[in-house]
Amino acid sequence: MSFLPVTVSDMKERGWDEADFVYVCGDAYVDHPSFGMSIISRVLDARGYKVAIISQPDWHSCEDFKRFGKPRLAFLVSSGNIDSMVAHYTAARKRRSKDAYTPGGEMGKRPDRAVIVYCNRIREAYGDVPVVIGGLEASLRRFAHYDYWDDKIRRSVLLDSQADLLIYGMGENQIIEIADRLNAGESVSDMRDIRGTCYTCDVRETPLTGAECPSFEKVSENKKDYALSCRIQQDEQDHIRGKLIKQRHGNRMLVQNPPMPPLTQQELDWVYSLDYMRDYHPSYEKLGGVPGIEEVKFSITHNRGCFGACNFCSIAFHQGRFITTRSKQSIIDEAKKLTHMSDFKGYIHDVGGPTANFRRTSCDVQLKNGLCKGKKCLAPTPCKALVADHSEYIDILRDLRRLPKVKKVFIRSGIRYDYMLKDKDDTFFKELVKHHVSGQLKVAPEHCSAAVLDKMGKPHIQAYIEFSKRYFQLSSSANKEQYLVPYLMSSHPGSTLDDAIELAQFLKKRHIRPEQVQDFYPTPGTISTCMFYTGLDPYTMKEVYVAKTPKDKAMQRALLQYFNPNNKELVVEALKRAGRTDLIGTRPECLVNVPGFRSNSNSRGSVKNNRSQGGRNGYGKKKKKKTR
């Protein structure tokens, strides 16, 4: 067992004269199943194909792309685990200082829009060689899409990259079919029937079936057309009922075939049983290693997909909403491998996935009919057909805890607390608190305003209040001092200044002082990004308020950390603008302490009365003798 070739000498040591596939990636080479490049390359390797890796090539010329010569079958291209623009820039469009997927965390080792740049260099080097793109950047940019950094609509990345095929979703079965057909001598230009892929054709060759989105030209000019396009794309991302989708770009037609069915449990077990080195390439050691491996090296992925489908999250558009899981034995076998690694200290950092506590489909109906179009399983309230069951997950966690050399098994992936509350058996809740929390549990209420939560596709705040109350009760019963760390988001579409003030009051009343707040980040392929760009909800076509100016966004963000002295000036300005000067002063209910300030308002302004603010639950230390 060894790393795949990264140099010509590596290839020669294996006795290869050429590679079947050359995988070009914007991330450093980490051979671990948490990295898409590793999974796809290992799948091909296990199928008998020769795969060479070009990781973070010098893109300033095409020379580095010639490292292994022309591959026998194709180049495979990905920007890496995340979109290259997200890797480079913050929500404020400021350049990041570190890249977790680069040796030593160094910035500048990949270009902006890496998929496009890499593909164009490959075309420059080899002309008509087959090129297949995949990974998150390609998957989420497969249609005409709003680009936050250019602040405009961009064409499908398939056209801009000049690639032949685009794989969307997780991609294992797509790449196997593409590889086998290329190996059999079929031209990549004839591969127009592979599920889970996109191709382009002359408009005169457009398939007659399927759903058609408004064209690139129309969505660039008309925001209602863009919102309509977004809804069509989201609604058809179901492997059972999803249709082929078309979108015209000038004289070319982008065609997305229906989604590839998720891997079966047997297939998923096979993928995670492959010979991963489970570490970064040793050539990076002298550079400080690759930071991105630290959190996942001793973690286990047990599921894929997420029927939670929050509007700001890309998982539903990439992995899909249908839940697939690995078998208990597969998970145990991986855990045993971890315990035999030289640097294993006894701690499994996570047993999770997109949502850790999903081990089955949300209901049985979708097994035959697919997930409901235009509806959510958990928001604003759980569907009546929902089946909440943690019994299998509990059984797996118990067996992991019993393994020799395992001291602790943590759960650090997202937990859907609203789903937990629907399980009539609270055994998992009790065992989570007793065995699987490392002092604090991270959960994602995101906001407290019902209007904002509806735009997020999240449950209302009452679910968080109920969960937090129960969490602290169980922690106390287990004689554990544990905390909740709530993820919060400012400036999400639909969030007004009044809503931000409501959230600030909610946090103050519960003694929650978030150290970090995520400003909404409009990334490609999400419903929330559609709302940000168009100011429309694509499912109702009604107008949505969007905070877009840096000042408006800064005020909302500051309100969520009203207690920070550095935010005092912004908070005062925000409260004055909202007519909430009653919250400025020295009274206990005030958000900012301004001695001698006299409010010119006798009312509570336009802010809605806070809903369900009873209870004393939240994150943060309180005075002694008070409930945590």
Q: What is the pLDDT of residue 595?
A: 83
Pair (87, 160) in one structural domain:
yes
DSSP per-residue string spanning 149-170: TTTEEE--HHHHHT-SEEE-SS
Q: Beta partners for 122?
A: none
Q: Which long-range contacts (CB under 8 A, 24 or more apart) does 221-226 make?
A: 223/533, 223/534, 223/535, 223/536, 224/534, 224/536, 224/541, 226/146, 226/153, 226/530, 226/533, 226/534
Pair (571, 512) in one structural domain:
yes
Beta strands 131-133; 165-167: pairing state:
parallel
Q: What is the pLDDT of residue 448?
A: 97
For the chain, give the mean pLDDT.
94
Q: Rounded distance, CA 176 to CA 197, Å?
A: 12
Span 338-383, pLDDT tens digits: 999 999 999 999 999 999 999 999 999 999 999 999 999 999 999 9
pLDDT bin (cut points 50, 70, 90) of residue 413 is confident
Longest dimension (CA), the chain: 83
Beta strands 51-55; 303-304: pairing state:
unpaired
Locate 498 and state its tokens. Answer: 């009044």
* 220 domain-assigned: no
Asked whether the CA dihedral 554, 559, 561, 565 is positive or negative, the reply is positive
- Output the domain CATH number for residue 307: 3.30.750.210
Q: What is the pLDDT of residue 624?
A: 38
Locate 205 and state its tokens. Answer: 């060759």
- Output the domain CATH number for residue 584: 3.30.750.200
- 210-230 in b/e form (b: 16+ CB < 10 A) is bebbbbbebbbeebebbbbbb
* 232 domain-assigned: no
- 425-434 in b/e form (b: 16+ CB < 10 A) is eeebbebbbe
The model carries a pTM of: 0.93
Pair (41, 178) in one structural domain:
yes
Pair (342, 483) in one structural domain:
no
pLDDT at 621 over 50: no
Pair (466, 422) in one structural domain:
no
Q: Per-residue pLDDT averaged across 18-26, rounded?
A: 98
pLDDT at 603 over 60: no
Q: What is the pLDDT of residue 600?
A: 64
Going by the DSSP 8-state scheme, the letter that residue 7 receives in this structure is S
- Output the domain CATH number for residue 48: 3.40.50.280
pLDDT at 627 over 50: no
Q: What is the pLDDT of residue 628?
A: 35
pLDDT bin (cut points 50, 70, 90) of residue 601 is low
Pair (43, 140) in one structural domain:
yes
* 127 domain-assigned: yes
Pair (579, 492) in one structural domain:
yes
Residue owning tokens 């690639």? 163
Return the number of other C-beta atoms located less than 10 Å from residue 485's C-beta.
17
3-state SS of 476-527 is HHCCCCCEEEEEEEECCCCCCHHHHHHHHHHHHHCCCCCCCCEECCCCCCCH
- Cβ atoms of 347 and 298 within 8 Å: the answer is yes
Pair (561, 597) in one structural domain:
yes
Give me the half-sphere count of Cα atoms (radius 13 Å) on the Cβ side of residue 616: 8
What's the one-letter identity of residue 115?
Answer: V
Pair (412, 447) in one structural domain:
no
280-289, 319-328, 560-569, 600-609: the lowest-pLDDT one: 600-609
pLDDT at 65 over 90: yes
**What is the domain count for the chain?**
3
- Cβ atoms of 183 and 224 within 8 Å: the answer is no
Give percent of the chain above pLDDT 70.
95
Instruction: Quote the domain boundaries for residue 24.
Output: 8-199
pLDDT bin (cut points 50, 70, 90) of residue 606 is very low
